[in-house]
């Protein structure tokens, strides 16, 4: 039993990282000295040289000034591993050593509710990016998970703004302590892939402030993120890459962002739009040129056109200076002009981190006395489902990773059980776009499970049919899912195997919820395995056989059916005018389900354990502008395990409509059998506030608030009231 595995990498890595890692600060120079040096560099640059720096110089670099010893900025995807090499003109470099550590995806990381693991995740990503010579790693993806259909949900973290903020801070610091810039993306409200380059997201100021902005605010103000990526979509009629209010007023003004805003690839649509708003680097406008066979980086919107516009006074040169200043500031902060730690690559420590995250990411959704399987009682094991042998790292879009290796669920079980157990495998279904269930495969699978001591089904979503990211399906970029139904006839297969062996464990791979109504009540155990990275198969095997006690908690609501989701009940899918009217507003995720009394299949924050936890002695006390919350949790079972104490705040007397409750704190505790822990959490005024659109400020109204302590948003164990 290794519930505390996640502490090991911290110990392993802390030494090496602290030795080679570097503080998240400008090089050895003081901020003032850096700014003075930037002034001096700017004074020596010609207008042409400045313009070269504010747009791409190749597929994944932006321009430098060789004459002055200013190198190009080198960027790479992605959010859960350093992507393969592209070459300068989108022609993949062959034969280069560009495999990397394939970490669990964003939703898996968020399911750990473990901020330390967020830091370790970022540290591994930063070290591998440094080793591969990358200055900027294009992650974290922190768009809010609003619709279950969004193709890129797997890359993001959660539906809840507070969990989003907490998990993104460690990730950013981890990356940047390795001397590499993180990139908070996609700013903002890019919550569907449908016609992403042209949709216009209509969203209220309050929803922006309470739901969509908090993750980015935390990345900037607590994580110190060096770069932000402007999204493709419009927000309230203006392209994100041209959005003066969101880029200049909010991000750079209110939040104090000092780094550089990079456009998503080909997200810039006009010269004046980009140059006058707070966009600092235009990327990807070469993509449309590729088809013409004539790629000319000076022809970018923020390219040579600006020479004329500055020349005729249409554009102030000072606007361009400010962009270059920010780029040079990032360069200083990532040690472009001095010694950056060398980084490392495909190391045992990195793989240990991937494993530790996977261990804590996998969520036990349902368990009626079937898990953990007892190794001593299993001599024959039937494994069913094409996802048991499928690898996922290489597809899904720009977040693809050429994994150094990837342990599938079947390999993980074989690694754990060795030759002591007779393991059979039946695909049960074929991964293909069309065509219904294959009755012969179903029959084989049903026969296989009926005679086995234990049976495990592994199904769910896939990223794509191949490693070519344009061949996408389901959990992938550019595409949203058609619905929440399991594809390839899996429902019929699951019903058949459950009929043949009612104890069959149902394991789902994927980035989010599926419609389980056809079999959910017949299944005795259901496990959400996400895309759990290169060590995912080993982690899954350890959990199913009880070597690791699951502690994952859902970072998003799992609806019974799609139409129960607020994004589909209250809002519409993009119409022919390509408008996404977020009329669900602040009612995203559990905020909707709770406030509108809709029962989900599995609630936000839900996740079972092989042990049990008792909450007691909740105390809340207000002193000045803070409320101190204290609660005790005891492990009342026979196995060591971890519980996430979730604190939700409910405004009982609000003058405006507010969600029934909102997550405002959490703490993960690891407890031995019989051990208890009393946690103390301080809630500040922000935990009680809502955003007043009229006053354009946060307001904590006087009145009664309920403080709920729970094991999930719907499993509230203790409640106490406090007067604000």
Cβ distance to ligand GLC smaller for residue 187 or 615: 187
For position 264 contacting ligand GLC by CB under 6 A, the verdict is: yes
For position 138 contacting ligand GLC by CB under 6 A, the verdict is: yes
Cite the DSSP H helix spans in 148-249: 161-176, 205-207, 214-221
Cβ distance to ligand GLC smaller for residue 281 or 441: 281
* Beta pairing partners, 633: 615, 677
Compute φ and ψ for 188, nearest 5 degrees: -150, 165
Distance of alpha carbon 296 from alpha carbon 285, whole angstroms: 10
Shortest separation between residue 190's beta carbon and ligand GLC, angstroms? 8
Q: Could you tell me how many residues of this chain bind ligand GLC (CB under 6 A)?
A: 6
* Residue 590 in tokens: 């559990």
Cβ distance to ligand GLC smaller for residue 61 or 551: 61
Residues 168-197 that bind ligand GLC (CB under 6 A): 185
Residue carrying the six token digits 């066979």: 293
Compute φ and ψ for 212, nearest 5 degrees: -90, -30
Shortest separation between residue 525's beta carbon and ligand GLC, angstroms? 35
* Residue 78 in tokens: 């992605």
DSSP annotation string for 436-484: ---HHHHHHHHHHHHTSSEEEEEEE--SBSSS-TTSB-SSSTT---S-S
Pairing of strands 525-530, 363-367: antiparallel
For residue 104, give the nearest of 122, 88, 70, 80 by alpha carbon. Answer: 80
Cβ distance to ligand GLC smaller for residue 394 or 659: 394
Residues 377-436 that bind ligand GLC (CB under 6 A): 398
For residue 669, give the nearest of 557, 529, 543, 553 by alpha carbon. Answer: 553
Q: What is the SS3 assignment for 717?
A: strand
Shortest separation between residue 87's beta carbon and ligand GLC, angstroms? 14
* Cα–Cα separations (whole angstroms), residue 569 to 488, 519, 562, 572, 658: 27, 24, 9, 8, 18
Marked catalytic residue, from 52, 264, 480, 542: 264
Cβ distance to ligand GLC smaller for residue 347 or 398: 398
Cβ distance to ligand GLC smaller for residue 264 or 411: 264
User: Is the peptide bond prior to 572 cis by the omega test (within 30 degrees of 0)?
Assistant: no
User: Is the peptide bond prior to 493 cis by the omega test (within 30 degrees of 0)?
Assistant: no
Q: Is 116 an annotated catalytic residue?
A: no
Burial of 595 (0-12, 13-18, 19+ CB in 10 A): middle
Cite the DSSP H helix spans in 573-705: 590-595
Cβ distance to ligand GLC smaller for residue 265 or 613: 265
Shortest separation between residue 398's beta carbon and ligand GLC, angstroms? 4
Quick note: the x/- pattern for ligand GLC over 8-47, rule CB under 6 A, is ----------------------------------------
For position 80 contacting ligand GLC by CB under 6 A, the verdict is: no
Shortest separation between residue 182's beta carbon and ligand GLC, angstroms? 12
| Contacts of 274 by beta carbon, 8 Å cutoff, 6+ apart | 241, 242, 263, 268, 282, 301, 302
For position 475 contacting ligand GLC by CB under 6 A, the verdict is: no
Residue 440 has a CB neighbour count (10 Å cut-off) of 8
Shortest separation between residue 700's beta carbon and ligand GLC, angstroms? 36
| Contacts of 388 by beta carbon, 8 Å cutoff, 6+ apart | 408, 409, 410, 425, 456, 458
Cβ distance to ligand GLC smaller for residue 283 or 508: 283
Of positions 17, 239, 265, 602, contacts ligand GLC by CB under 6 A: 265
Residues 451-470 that bind ligand GLC (CB under 6 A): none
Cβ distance to ligand GLC smaller for residue 145 or 497: 145
For residue 429, give the nearest of 466, 458, 468 by alpha carbon. Answer: 458
Shortest separation between residue 174's beta carbon and ligand GLC, angstroms? 19
For residue 336, give the nearest of 97, 62, 18, 47 by alpha carbon. Answer: 62
Shortest separation between residue 39's beta carbon and ligand GLC, angstroms? 31
Of positions 77, 160, 210, 542, contacts ligand GLC by CB under 6 A: 77
Q: Which residues bind ligand GLC (CB under 6 A)?
A: 77, 138, 185, 264-265, 398
Residues forming the active site: 264
């Amino acid at each position: 039993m290794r519930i505390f595995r996640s502490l090991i990498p911290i110990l392993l890595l802390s030494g090496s990282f602290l030795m080679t890692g570097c503080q998240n600060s400008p090089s050895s120079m003081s901020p003032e000295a850096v700014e003075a040096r930037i002034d001096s560099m700017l004074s020596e640059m010609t207008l042409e040289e400045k313009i070269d720096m504010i747009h791409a110089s190749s597929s994944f670099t932006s321009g430098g000034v060789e004459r002055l010893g200013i190198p190009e900025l080198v960027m790479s995807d992605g959010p859960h591993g350093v992507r393969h090499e592209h070459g300068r003109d989108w022609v993949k470099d062959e034969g280069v050593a560009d495999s990397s550590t394939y970490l669990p995806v964003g939703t898996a990381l968020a399911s750990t509710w473990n901020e330390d693991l967020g830091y370790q995740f970022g540290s591994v990503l930063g070290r591998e990016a440094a080793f591969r010579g990358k200055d900027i790693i294009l992650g974290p993806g922190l768009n809010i998970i609003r619709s279950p259909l969004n193709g890129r949900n797997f890359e993001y973290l959660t539906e809840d703004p507070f969990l989003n903020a907490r998990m993104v801070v460690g990730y950013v610091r981890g990356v940047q302590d390795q001397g590499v810039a993180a990139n908070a993306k996609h700013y903002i409200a890019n919550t569907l892939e449908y016609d992403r380059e042209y949709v216009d997201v209509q969203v209220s100021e309050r929803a922006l402030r309470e739901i969509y902005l908090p993750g980015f605010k935390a990345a900037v103000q607590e994580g110190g993120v060096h770069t932000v990526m402007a999204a493709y979509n419009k927000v309230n009629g203006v392209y994100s890459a041209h959005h003066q209010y969101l880029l200049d007023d909010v991000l750079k003004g209110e939040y104090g962002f000092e780094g550089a805003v990079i456009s998503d690839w080909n997200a810039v649509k006009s010269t004046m739009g980009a140059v006058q708003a707070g966009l600092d680097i235009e990327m990807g406008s070469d993509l449309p040129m590729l088809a013409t066979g004539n790629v000319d980086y000076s022809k970018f919107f923020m390219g040579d056109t600006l020479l004329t516009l500055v020349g005729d006074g249409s554009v102030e040169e000072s606007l361009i200076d400010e962009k270059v200043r920010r780029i040079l500031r990032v360069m200083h902060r990532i040690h472009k002009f001095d010694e950056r730690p060398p980084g490392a690559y495909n190391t045992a420590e990195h793989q240990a981190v991937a494993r530790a995250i996977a261990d804590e990411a996998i969520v036990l959704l349902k368990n009626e006395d079937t898990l953990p399987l007892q190794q001593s009682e299993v001599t024959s094991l039937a494994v069913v489902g094409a996802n048991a042998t499928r690898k996922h790292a290489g597809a899904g879009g720009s977040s693809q990773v050429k994994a150094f290796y990837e342990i599938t669920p079947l390999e993980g079980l074989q690694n754990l059980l060795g030759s002591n157990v007779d393991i059979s495998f039946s695909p049960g279904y074929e991964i293909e776009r069309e065509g219904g269930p294959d009755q012969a495969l179903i029959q084989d699978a049903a026969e296989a499970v009926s005679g086995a001591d234990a049976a495990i089904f592994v199904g769910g979503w896939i990223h794509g049919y191949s490693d070519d990211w344009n061949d996408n399906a389901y959990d992938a970029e550019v595409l949203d899912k058609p619905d929440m139904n399991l594809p390839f006839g899996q429902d019929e297969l699951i019903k058949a195997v459950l009929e043949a062996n009612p104890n069959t464990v149902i394991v789902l791979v994927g980035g989010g919820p599926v419609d389980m109504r056809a079999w959910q009540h017949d299944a005795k155990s259901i496990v959400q395995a996400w895309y759990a990275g290169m060590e995912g198969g080993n982690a899954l095997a350890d959990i199913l056989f009880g070597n690791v006690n699951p502690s994952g908690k859902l970072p998003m609501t799992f609806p019974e059916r799609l139409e129960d989701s607020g994004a589909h009940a209250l809002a519409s899918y993009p119409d022919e005018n390509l408008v996404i009217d977020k009329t669900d507003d602040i009612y995203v995720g559990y905020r909707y389900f709770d406030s509108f009394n809709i029962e989900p299949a599995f609630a936000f924050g839900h996740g079972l354990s092989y042990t049990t936890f008792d909450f007691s002695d909740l105390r809340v006390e207000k002193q000045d502008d803070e409320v101190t919350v204290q609660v005790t949790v005891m492990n009342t079972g026979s196995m060591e395990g971890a519980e996430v104490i979730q604190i939700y705040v409910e405004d009982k007397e609000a003058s405006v409509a507010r969600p029934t409750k909102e997550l405002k704190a959490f703490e993960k505790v690891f407890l031995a059998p019989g051990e208890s822990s009393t946690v103390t959490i301080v809630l500040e005024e922000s935990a009680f506030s809502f955003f007043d659109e009229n006053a354009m400020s946060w307001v904590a109204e006087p009145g009664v608030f309920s403080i709920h302590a729970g094991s999930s948003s719907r499993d509230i164990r203790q409640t106490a009231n406090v007067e604000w």
